[in-house]
Amino acid sequence: MIAKETFIDSLLKKLKIIPVGHYYDVRSYKRDRGFYIIKSKEDEYCILERGFFDEEFVSDFNGLTGIFKKLLKREFPRSHKLRIYNMGEINECIFKKPKRKVI
């Protein structure tokens, strides 16, 4: 779990080294809201919001900070700790039914 104050910096460091085709699952402490970050191309990221809203964003690395700030306010207004899961390689079922990591 990562503190909300250091979340953006920690996630950006992880996104620099993730291979193309892999993704992260970001969840609240209770795991009921969150979003996925998919590295679709070398400098293109797709963010799928699955919580209060269902939206999709596509951005390069420089535009991720603004999107993450927006998502933190909307999806995690009262959360202080967030969970980041490295989910590995993406498959088509993420767009239909989310894959959850077993704890």
Q: Whole-prediction pTM value?
A: 0.83
Q: Is residue 63 domain-resident? A: yes
User: How sure is the predictor about 96, in pLDDT bands with cuts at 50, 70 and 90?
Assistant: low
> To which H or E segment does residue 13 belong?
helix 7-17
Q: Is residue 75 domain-resident? A: yes
Are the C-beta atoms of residues 33 and 91 closer than 8 Å to each other?
Answer: no
Structural domains of the chain, count: 1
Domain that holds residue 30: 2-89
Q: Is residue 42 domain-resident? A: yes
Q: Is residue 97 domain-resident? A: no
CATH code (residue 51): 3.90.70.20
Helix, strand, coil content of the chain in percent (nearest 5)? 30, 40, 30
Say what the pLDDT of residue 53 is: 87
Q: Is residue 40 domain-resident? A: yes
Are the C-beta atoms of residues 64 and 10 closer than 8 Å to each other?
Answer: no
